[in-house]
Homo-oligomer: A and B are copies of this chain.
Amino acid sequence: MPEPSSKAEYVVGVDLGGTKILSGVFTNSLKFVGRSKMSTKAERGPEAVIERIAHCVQDAVDECDLDLKQVKGVGIGAPGSVDSETGKVMFAGNLGWKDVSLKKELEKQLQLPVFLGNDCNVCTLGVHEVELEGKPKNMVGVFLGTGIGGGLILDGKVFTGFNRTAGEVGHMVLEVNGPKCTCGNRGCWEALSSRSALFRQVLEAVKNGQKTVLTDMLGNDLRDLRSGDLRKAIKQGDKFVEHIVEEAAKYTGVAVANLINVLSPEVVIIGGGLVDALENEMMSIIVETAREHAFPGSDKGVKILASKLGDDAGITGGAVLARRETK
Residue numbers of A with Cβ under 8 A of B are 81, 90-91, 136-138, 150, 152, 154-155, 159-169, 171-177, 183, 185, 250-251, 254, 257-259, 261-266, 292-293, 295-302
Residue among A160, A162, A185, A302 with the highest chain B CB neighbour number at 10 A: A162
The one of B154, B155, B250, B261 in contact with A169, judged by C-beta atoms closer than 8 angstroms, is B261
CB of A262 within 8 A of CB of B259, answer: yes
CB of B173 within 8 A of CB of A301, answer: no
CB of A174 within 8 A of CB of B173, answer: yes
Contact residues in B for A91 (Cβ distance below 8 Å): 297
The one of B154, B167, B300, B301 in contact with A154, judged by C-beta atoms closer than 8 angstroms, is B154
Which B-chain residue is minimally distant from A160 (CB atoms)? B264
CB of B293 within 8 A of CB of A168, answer: no
Query: What would 5 A/B residue contacts be, using CB atoms closer than 8 Å?
Result: A150-B262, A161-B263, A166-B263, A167-B262, A169-B262
Contact residues in B for A169 (Cβ distance below 8 Å): 261-262
Complex alpha-carbon distance, A184 and B262, angstroms = 18
CB of B163 within 8 A of CB of A298, answer: yes
Which B-chain residue is minimally distant from A164 (CB atoms)? B264
| Closest beta carbon of chain B to A176's beta carbon, Å | 5
Residue among A91, A150, A172, A266 with the highest chain B CB neighbour number at 10 A: A172
* 7 cross-chain pairs, A with B, having the tightest CB-CB distances, nearest first: A161-B264, A166-B264, A162-B266, A165-B298, A168-B261, A171-B295, A172-B258
